[in-house]
Structure 1
């Protein structure tokens, strides 16, 4: 029997009990944070050796480039070749940049808005309207970019294989639809990985806009929680074979692999797209931090070294995800008030609670000293039409704190559900 099946007497008894548990929770005066998918201190320590690299007298790339000097927009081949091999891409179609791939994504949208893409009839700012496809729930920072530029963001439901392709194919018949956000492997926040069939459909589908672009944000392409690494489909090859060579802007970075904010970002695309990007990026700056790129190349050494580091991350993260899933099942499994994803990689768990209660859950958690990502954050304009989704980020706290926080979250979910049931 689930909570919705309780009669008035049983619901009243349950509500009294859960309110008492919530009062006990508040009395603990907690200060816990599950808001963002930050690496833990333990994870950051894995890469401390990079702080001593490349070394005082070691500043030449393999081809002899003096990495201390200006130039080299594409980045050094040492790190580009390593990353290209890890992701199964041609090295000549991979650019290495600075910091976070989010910076490059912002640049891409900015350049297209101001000047148009290499396939555009005119700058996107001169279009009557620009629409953008947003699989939901999705990544809040993606949505913030297209919100900033005033694009109309269209919801696309997520399935276990990726975005609902029937919806996507219908929406791209509109020439105002210029692009789409994606996180194709271990997505944020669902953990969903796009199937091969979905990747092929996205590559091959017809679109009304000749300059339609898919931002393929593979932020978690090698962020496994198991002993197995996911297949990374070469969408550049798939789209070229389908007659749409410029469709994908493929992103990746080391942001949650070494040290966040001081890593290396990667942009892979067709030669035409890279030339278009370079025509503006060469004016914006005079090349990336090649010393940092050399340090990363020397730290990883090769793809085997990169994957060995990712197994360390998995060893740190997997127990945390396991505890979150166990607590959710133990505390909520019998009541029918929530569902959640069970990812095999990435940084997040997507929790769906009773419709109309996500905001209340977040409010109750805040009052109890547990910070959660705001309800609606995983939707464009931060508006979840069903007020049901909450993104959980287990990575940062130690397991002991995570257990306390998740037990508290479960109490808040049950209290909000009981309140909703009593009011209906």
Structure 2
């Protein structure tokens, strides 16, 4: 975003008011935090019944498995059948694991580097520099994984319908490009979702690397802010129909649904991909936490039970998200200093401010006692070439704190824009 002559004139005309508002903000000695997309205490309390499940005398699955013992690399049928219903897929192509889908993603990258995956001519680490496509703005922890392995990260725009398909098609002509990150539903941080057309294009496109993979991180598959749930696209089915059955590694989990550190993560892919993953996972460990999986199956009860829980989450989260967008509109609408997304789900709101001012807005907020995620955090290596994007996370604080913080953030965005205009 760039300021117009009219915008600059407006800012200069209100300079005294903007500076006075910022001084008043600092004088309040606030200590507020909008940095991470964590569930609030009220949300965590929704899963309190999990702490008593599955019960001391109720430790066998519906097919008679004693969950207290070793084994069961695929996870128990009870939770796999239930979650397959959520995703609309065949449970035979779904593994239930321990709490973190991020751990599975790390394993998939690590094992491809070390051993090569089931389509690799050689381990990724044995060849030239690995390149990886990163839609931006995107999820910072995705970027951290590929950064850790020394991949060259290639950015493409994340549009309202998904990653820029033409840009991706051009990049995958390079055999060193081995994969891509994607958050397909209510993406982090924009809240945009991948359309069926883009998903079909990603599934069908030709790639120079035979072992090219797309990590389809469906972290927010059911994280609606309304009563409506998004369509879950069967990309594994799309890819199989297009002759690329192994293209997608699909993740999902109960994170931000039950307890963030002790939920259940899921891995969905082709049979061949799952067989490859299990061949190494069975060396690393002897099965997941089946007690916790059974507890979750009992807690939800059914696929509809998942939706019922998520409607309660939406009831807690939606007022906070409305407060953010309402305050941005009231304070910044028509000023030309910011644009923001209006997500229907997920955990974040993406704000673009005047080019070159995002880091300054974050610094001003910090001086005023409001912690924001660092500017550039949604880009590889934390480098936003335009220094314009901010990621807001209103989920954890109480509503009244969100309102105070956002009014302050709006003041900081205005002051940063004013400084750039002079």
Counterpart CA distance in 1 for 2:396 and 2:79 is 28
Counterpart CA distance in 2 for 1:146 and 1:279 is 23
- In the TM superposition, 1:192-341 aligns within 5 A as 192-341=192-341
Q: Secondary structure at the match of 1:390?
A: strand
Alpha-carbon offset, residue 4 of structure 1 = 3.5
- In the TM superposition, 1:87-102 aligns within 5 A as 87-102=87-102
For 2:66, the equivalent position in structure 1 comes to 66
Q: Secondary structure at the match of 1:352?
A: strand
CA shift in 2, pair 1:199/1:377, >3 Å: same
Counterpart CA distance in 2 for 1:248 and 1:222 is 20
Counterpart CA distance in 1 for 2:7 and 2:208 is 54
Q: Secondary structure at the match of 1:397?
A: coil
- In the TM superposition, 1:115-194 aligns within 5 A as 115-194=115-194
Q: Secondary structure at the match of 2:327?
A: helix
Counterpart CA distance in 1 for 2:38 and 2:64 is 36
Q: Secondary structure at the match of 2:350?
A: strand
Counterpart CA distance in 2 for 1:189 and 1:166 is 22
Counterpart CA distance in 2 for 1:109 and 1:405 is 38
Counterpart CA distance in 1 for 2:210 and 2:256 is 34
For 2:377, the equivalent position in structure 1 comes to 377
Q: Secondary structure at the match of 1:211?
A: coil
Alpha-carbon offset, residue 5 of structure 1 = 2.8
Q: TM-score, normalised by structure 2?
A: 0.98
For 1:107, the equivalent position in structure 2 comes to 107
In the alignment, structure 1 segments of 5+ residues that lack a partner are none
Q: Secondary structure at the match of 1:350?
A: strand
Q: Are the counterparts in 2 of residues 3 and 11 from structure 1 also a CA contact under 8 Å?
A: no
Alpha-carbon offset, residue 9 of structure 1 = 7.4
For 1:390, the equivalent position in structure 2 comes to 390
- In the TM superposition, 1:39-54 aligns within 5 A as 39-54=39-54
Counterpart CA distance in 2 for 1:391 and 1:352 is 9
Alpha-carbon offset, residue 53 of structure 1 = 0.3
For 1:81, the equivalent position in structure 2 comes to 81
CA shift in 2, pair 1:8/1:359, >3 Å: closer
Q: Are the counterparts in 2 of residues 4 and 421 from structure 1 also a CA contact under 8 Å?
A: no
Q: Are the counterparts in 2 of residues 3 and 335 from structure 1 also a CA contact under 8 Å?
A: no
Q: Are the counterparts in 2 of residues 134 and 143 from structure 1 also a CA contact under 8 Å?
A: yes
Q: TM-score, normalised by structure 1?
A: 0.98
| CA offsets 1:222-281 (integer angstroms, 9 cap, x no match) | 111111100001111100000000000000000110000100000000000001001110
1:413 aligned to 2:407?
Answer: no
| CA offsets 1:379-403 (integer angstroms, 9 cap, x no match) | 0000000000000001001110000
Counterpart CA distance in 1 for 2:188 and 2:40 is 18
Q: Are the counterparts in 1 of residues 255 and 264 from structure 2 also a CA contact under 8 Å?
A: yes
Alpha-carbon offset, residue 7 of structure 1 = 8.8
Counterpart CA distance in 2 for 1:299 and 1:215 is 28
For 2:33, the equivalent position in structure 1 comes to 33
In the alignment, structure 2 segments of 5+ residues that lack a partner are none
Alpha-carbon offset, residue 159 of structure 1 = 1.2
CA shift in 2, pair 1:25/1:114, >3 Å: same
Alpha-carbon offset, residue 62 of structure 1 = 1.0
Counterpart CA distance in 2 for 1:10 and 1:136 is 31
Q: Secondary structure at the match of 1:98?
A: coil
Q: Secondary structure at the match of 1:411?
A: helix
Q: Are the counterparts in 1 of residues 8 and 421 from structure 2 also a CA contact under 8 Å?
A: no
Counterpart CA distance in 2 for 1:11 and 1:202 is 44
Counterpart CA distance in 2 for 1:8 and 1:325 is 23
CA shift in 2, pair 1:138/1:7, >3 Å: closer
How many residues align structurally?
Answer: 421
Alpha-carbon offset, residue 121 of structure 1 = 0.4
- In the TM superposition, 1:5-16 aligns within 5 A as 5-6=5-6, 11-16=11-16
